[in-house]
Structure formats: structure tokens, C-alpha cells
Structure 1
Amino acid sequence: MINIKSYFNYNKRQRNGILFLLLIIVLLQLVFFFVDFSNKNSFEVSNTQLIAFEKEFDSLQKLNFLSKKFEIKPFNPNYITDYKGYQLGMSTKEIDKLLLFRKTGKYVNSKKEFQKVTGVSDSLLLKISPLFKFPNWVSKQKKKSKPKKLINLPLEKRELNKATAQDFFKIGISEYVSARIVKYRNSIKGFYFEDQLNEVYGLNDDNCKEILNHFEIKQKPIIQKLNINEATFKEVLALPYIDYELTKKIFTYKNKVAEIQSIEELKKIDTFPLEKFNRIALYLFAK
């Protein structure tokens, strides 16, 4: 059996060595406890210096962003977004004006009209307008030169309801709008009143005056009227100037009174468009 006691027997020299080692350990502990090893010359940054540094960093970052070259391809200026407007150099106010104009359902069809709506400067317009790309029909219309007005037009005005799109084109109306006049005239079975010209989309007051300088209604169109008491819902709805809501109101009133005695009774209908009565009366009668 191993004598365990022999492991703990030390001579004097060994005991002195152990004592000296313990002394060194105690001294080292005291040094670490009482001596400050932190760096007294540590770098301290004040709040003012930190804010100044952040501002300088932000400005450099913004400068780097603005210095980037964005590849912008031809585009329709009617669909400029906030981000694209920023890329082009437009201000927030100028972009908002365009977006507000588009909300009305209108479009800009030229550089001049774009500047009028947005208010951009001449220098910015000169820079970005080469990238504008309008629809094909707008481009074709611009390429065609405005037709010269006939010098030797007859003094007597011609029949408005028989004029062709070419006739309107010859007096200065654009080809696109001229075709629209004829199409609208056919949809209402002919112009009965001269001011019905104002109902044609795209035809302004000056155009209407120019047309009436050369044309007039000499013979009223013959319109086959519907008997309001016998007509179906679908037949009334198909008539000009009458939409779905008005058709419902007419038939509700007719069911209420059993039979409409006079077309004038329609005026009694709640919210009936009185300003359109003379036009609606062209297509309906009561019997």
C-alpha cells in the first residue's frame, strides 16, 4: 500500500520555495488591486463634434447620391411619379401640380402644355423635354401641318348636318376632332341645336365659332320618337342624354302614376336634369 504521508513531507528548502511562491502571488494580487492600468490619455469625443461629423457624413452621402448618373429612357410625361420627378430635377410643388392635373382626367400633349401645367423653368424644360414620348396619335397630329383655310369659301353657309370630316378639316379643325364631330352627330341622330357642338369632346369655343361661321342647321333632323308609356327600359336607356340612373327614375315615376300624360311630367321627377329636358324631349313623347 502506498504511503500517502510521503507526498506531504517537504524539506526546509522546499518549504522556503513554497513560501516564496505564495508571497509572489500575494504581491501580484495587491498590485492588480491598487494599481490603475486604464489609459489616462483615452480619446474623448464631445456631442458637438459628433453632431458635426454626422452632418458632414450625411452631406457627403447626399453628394454621392446626386453625383450618380441615372439612365432615363424616353417616357410619357403624363405618368411621372414622385421618384422620377425627383430624378429629373423637378420640385415637389411642380410634381404635385402635374398629379393634380392628371386626377381631373386630362393629359398634357406637348412640351408647352407640360410647362404651363407644372410651371417648370425654361432651362429644366430644355433639359428633360427631349425625353418626352407622347402617344402615336399625338405625334402624328403634330407632324401634320395645320390646313390652310379656304379663301374663296361661298358666302352662304352650308348644312351642318351634311358636312363631312374633311369639310371640318378644311376650315382648320384637326383631323382627329373632325372625325369625332361626325361620330357624335351620328350618335344623337343629327344636330337639332347649334349649341350641341359644345358637347363634342375636344372641341373648344373658338372651334365652335369657326364651324358656325361656315355651317348652320338649315333643316332639323327627323328623329323617330319613342312613346314613353310603351318603351322598354332598354330602349329608353339607349337614348342620348339618358343614363342608367335617370332611366330608373323615369320608370319608377311611370309605375307610380300608371301612365304619363305629357312628356312635361318628367320635370316633376326628383333631381331631373332640367337643362337637358329640351334635348331629351327630342326622343320621347307621351300618348
Structure 2
Amino acid sequence: MTKQERNGIFLLAFIIIAIQFGYYFLDFSSDPIPFNKRDYELYSREIDSLKQIEIELRKKKLYPFNPNYIDDFKGCFLGMSNEEIDRLLAFRKEDQWISSVEQFQQVTKISDSLLGTLAPYFKFPDWITNQKGSTINTNSNPYLIKKEEKIDLNKATAEQLQSIKGIGKVLSERIIKYRNRFPDGFMDLVELNDVYGLSSEVIESIRRKFTVTPSQSIEKVDLNKATLTQLVKIRHISYDLAFSILEERTLRDGFNTLDELIKVRGFPINKLEIIKLYLSLENIKAE
């Protein structure tokens, strides 16, 4: 071995010995962190409180609403079954009105437990709550107008619209502007939900005084035969949504009902009733 190699070996041995001495004789430990039980308990309570707040925020929040205007989306949110929602919608299509908690259960046949949860949030119009008793004969109620006496919303003037409590110049002009966006105007009163600023109470008042006579010139599109071009012409259906509908239709080998559209990725469930106005199912696939 050369002199440099020997010196290198001695230097390495010296470093190893120095490290061993340092390990045994030098104290590298840090000071222990003191445990403050009081601070720990305060911190734990704060964490628990934040968790509880998060749980409360994730819970469904209910606000007062008129049960006469429960739609598919609202009904699902409230925990109603499809059959219960369908019974209510069928009842309303006959121009009949729910006027009490008891009548709501009779019509929908919901369970007592669900009724107990929803009933405190029912908000009926003043002309119902001011009546004596829990039931109202809608045929004799002075606030209800026979269908043949109602004004066609597609021909209504701003002055006629302003006769509704809660509708002023701005809202009447907004309704007419929305109506004029489409050659045939409103297809159904449900489209009033698309007019910004109209509360459920105002829409309810409009329903009592106005009606819509759908144009006979509008041809509904068969959902199971519709092309991309046909779908994108329908209100609330974008190109992306139309592609998703066609994709879902292929996967399902066709739709059985229009309500199956809610299974389409990205479908606006709250616009289902409006979209359904422009669709049909002429040839339903065989089971």
C-alpha cells in the first residue's frame, strides 16, 4: 500500500471512532414537549363542535312550501316515492287543489312518519288558511276560476298580468319577454319556473287566473328516434346533454319512459317537466 492509501485508512478509522464516541458521550435528545391536558380538552371540544356543524350543514334543509307545487325533483328531495309523487301530479292535473294536511295524505298515501316531518313546512295560500275547517270545496271557492274563464297566458297583456298580486311592471315585462323568445310562446304553465323573480306564491296566483293553450303546430320529438340536431333545439338541452342522452339511449337500448331521462349524466332534473313538453315516446321498446 502506498503512503496515501495508509493515511486514508487511518483517517477513516479515526472518523468511525469519533462517531462512536460522539454517539455514547454526546446528548442529542430534545427537550420533552409538555402535555397540557386543559388545552388538549379545549382543542378536542372545538374539533367536535366543527364536526357537528359540518353534519348539520349536510342535512336536508326544508323551508315553507306549498305542497300543491311539488314536482318530481322536489318530491324525491322530500323523500316521497315515485308512486306518491305520481298520485299528487295526477290529482293536480285535474285542476284540484290540496287544501289541508289530511287531504295531502289522502291523495298521496304517504306514511304518517313522513307526513309528520313534512307537515310543519306546508304553507297554504291565505285564501285556504283563512277558511274555517280543514277542507275546502274548490268548485265553490270564489278565488278559483273555471278553466274556460281563464285568460290565455300567450295572449295576456302587461296590464292583465299586473292584476296579479306580486307582479309589477318589471315582472310583467319579463314574462312577456320570455314568451316572445319562442314562436309559440308558453307550452305549459310549468315554464313560469324559468322566469326569473317569480316566487311559488306568484306562480300559484297566475295558475288560478291564467291558462295556456298549447300550439297545435308544435310537433313533439320521439325520444327514441331523435337526432342530435333535434334534441339541441329543445329548451335546456345543450350539445353536451344531447350527446349524453344519445349515449344513455344506446346503453339502454331505448327509453321506456320520459322520466328515465333523470338517469342521464348531467341532466337538469329541475327542468324535466319542461323538457318533457317537447318529447314523446311513440314506440316503446319491448320488455
TM-score, normalised relative to structure 1: 0.37
Q: Higher relative contact order by CA 8 Å / sep ≥ 6: 1 or 2?
A: 2
